[in-house]
Amino acid sequence: MIRRRCRFEIADSASRALLEVPFTEILDKGCRPAHPALLAQRRKAAAEMERAARLIEALGEERTALLAELQNMRELLAHAREVSSHGTSQRRT
């Protein structure tokens, strides 16, 4: 980086200096702006990463819902077996 000390001079209508305002200008050392195609690629990659994150979140939500449904099915199946076994034992007696 290059630092360059500069100043603004504020003058009246007769060109008499009224005020000097010093400042330091910081220049980037020869860095060129990124190529438009590279910028487009970066934007596309960022969009794809956001999309992937949303998909991962949606898959997690679906997995949670499926596990809850599977647990519900297991409980129903266990209950059905219990009812079935009680019905079978009652017929034998």
69/63 Cα distance (integer angstroms):
10
pLDDT of residue 89: 64
71/42 Cα distance (integer angstroms):
43
The domain total for the chain is 1
Q: Cα 85 to chain center, whole Å?
A: 53
Query: Which domain covers residue 75, as residue numbers?
Result: 2-92
Q: What is the pLDDT of residues 29-86, one digit of tens each?
A: 666 777 889 999 999 999 999 999 999 999 999 999 999 999 999 999 999 999 998 8
Under the banding of pLDDT at 50, 70 and 90, the label for residue 91 is low
Top-confidence range, 16-20, 49-53, 89-93: 49-53
Buried b (16+ CB within 10 A) or exposed e, 2-35: eeeeeeeeeeeeeeeeeeeeeeeeeeeeeeeeee
Helices (H), the chain: 36-92
